[in-house]
Amino acid sequence: MFSKTPLPAFAAALVAGVTLTATTTAAQAQGTKCLPRAILVEDLKKKYNEQLSGGGLQNPQQLLEVWTSPNSGSFTVFITRADGLACIMATGKHWNSNSEIAPAGVKS
């Protein structure tokens, strides 16, 4: 009913898949912009009028921060590592802060 793939061919395909995934992840990591947190925060305040809106501890070595501008709606999401290096994960426009979620059945 099912054709069996020989183990060497399956192993080769698995290794190729893992290698491709590792290469893609490394390439994505190289595209991430990292710099000292103090410099990033200064730029966000001066250039984009952004301020800290929230965040949380991802693990003992990483703090996730969300900075937003109430004026322009721009936002920046970055992770600050224990060594003080901050890596930008996302930026964008039209940030919307919702402080309350409407209960089920209530139009929002």
Give percent above pLDDT 90 in the chain: 57
Domain ranges, ordered by start, for the chain: 32-92
Highest mean pLDDT among 5-9, 31-35, 52-56: 52-56
- Residue 86: the pLDDT is 97
Q: Is the pLDDT of residue 101 over 90?
A: no
Mean pLDDT for the stretch of residues 32-51: 95
Mean pLDDT for the stretch of residues 12-18: 41
Q: Which is more confidently placed, 28 or 71?
A: 71
- Indicate the average pLDDT of the chain: 78
CA atoms within 13 Å, Cβ hemisphere of 50: 25
Q: For residues 19, 79, 45 and 67, what is the CA-based torsion angle, rounded to 10 degrees?
A: 100
